[in-house]
Amino acid sequence: MKNVDAARPIVILLADDDEEDRMLAADALEASRVVNDLRFVEDGEELLDYLYHRGRYAEASSSPTPGLILLDLNMPRKDGREALREIKADSDLRRIPVVVLTTSKAEEDIYRTYDLGANSFITKPVSFEGLVAVMRDIGRYWIEIVELPPDHIG
């Protein structure tokens, strides 16, 4: 188990264009009792604005860098695939684990997202209970089991 001393809540950034899906995700995370600080963005543009502290996210303190990104693929303006490519190409952002959480189960999508450097690919469960279980497992894995990279070294 990791060092619980540094147990300040990890910021989870969820990118999903569907309002209800965001709502369900929040409910599921809450129901699974994963300690977290959940932020939302609605599409790829907003996601990158947040990460680069641009636009309405210019204030760094109110938009802390996430320790985990949950990324939907099909979004307007800039979709998840495009955003993923940019994140993993950026020397500062590429260390942030990206878990793709999408309704798609198409093989091409799975292949391409891993190809672009996504850390995991999860197909959204059909039922709410399923979603709760997945959120619980995501939390347990990425926050409790996995060592996330520090902000800087040295």
Which residue ranges make up the site for other proteins (CB under 8 A)?
18, 20, 24, 27, 31, 103-104, 106, 124, 126-129, 131
Residue with smaller CB distance to other proteins, 18 or 86: 18
CA atoms of 71 and 82, how far apart (whole Å): 11
Question: Tokens in use for 118?
Answer: 């996504």
CB of 30 to other proteins, least distance (A): 10
CB of 46 to other proteins, least distance (A): 21
CB of 151 to other proteins, least distance (A): 35
**Helix 107-116, helix 80-89: angle, nearest 10:** 20
CB of 81 to other proteins, least distance (A): 15
Task: Look at residue 145 and give its three-state secondary structure.
Answer: helix
Residue with smaller CB distance to other proteins, 116 or 132: 132
16: Cβ–Cβ under 8 A, 6 or more apart, which residues? 22, 25, 40, 42, 70, 72, 75, 101
Residue with smaller CB distance to other proteins, 27 or 49: 27
Residue with smaller CB distance to other proteins, 16 or 66: 16
CB of 107 to other proteins, least distance (A): 11
CA atoms of 112 and 84, how far apart (whole Å): 11
**Helix 44-51, helix 80-89: angle, nearest 10:** 20
Residue with smaller CB distance to other proteins, 5 or 20: 20
